[in-house]
Amino acid sequence: MKQLRPTVLAGIFAVAGVLSWAGARLWNAYGTLPGVPLAAPVVLGAIAVVLLATALSLRARLKAQRERRPGAKGVEPLMAARAVVFGQASALVAALVAGMYGGVGVFLLMDSLDVPARRDQTWYAGFAVLAGAAVIAAALFLEHVLKLPEDDDTTPQSPSRA
């Protein structure tokens, strides 16, 4: 499994932001732009908390296992793999969603801050971007916690069979 790269996540965020900004301009020209839900930053924040709690729990369990504490509960490899997949998927989706809300937020910021309802939507979009960044940070931390150590084996390879 390959490690997530922050540049890929930033690219997803930027592309989604530009497309969302253009879509918001087009949608607003032909009708009423749908609002940014208040639940968006709340849900993203909850996902960030779950990822961070998982990372901290697994880090403590791995540390106890490395120190060979009596009664230490180890980490099963399948559970670690599932946690990494959950973190990577969450980071990818959070980059996309944060980019979408970022694009809409920029459109609202440039277009109509004089309308109180639109001003609130701009705040919600900004908080959603911050919560998306928190999800990405927590997912990258989880991935760092569960990263396997590099193989430092310097012994020569066994001769290949001919």
CB 124 within 8 A of CB 38: yes
Cα separation of 57 and 150, whole Å?
A: 22
- What pLDDT is attached to residue 93? 96
pTM listed for this prediction: 0.84
Residue 32: what pLDDT? Answer: 80
What does the domain layout of the chain look like in residue ranges? Answer: 94-147
CA distance 140 to 66: 22
Of residues 86, 93, 91, 62, the one with CA closest to residue 75:
62
Q: What is the pLDDT of residues 3-43, one digit of tens each?
A: 889 999 999 999 999 999 999 988 888 888 888 899 999 99
Residue 96 pLDDT greater than 90, yes or no: yes
pLDDT attached to residue 48? 96
Asked if residue 158 has pLDDT above 60, the reply is no
Report CA torsion sign: 129, 132, 134, 137: negative
pLDDT of residue 153: 53
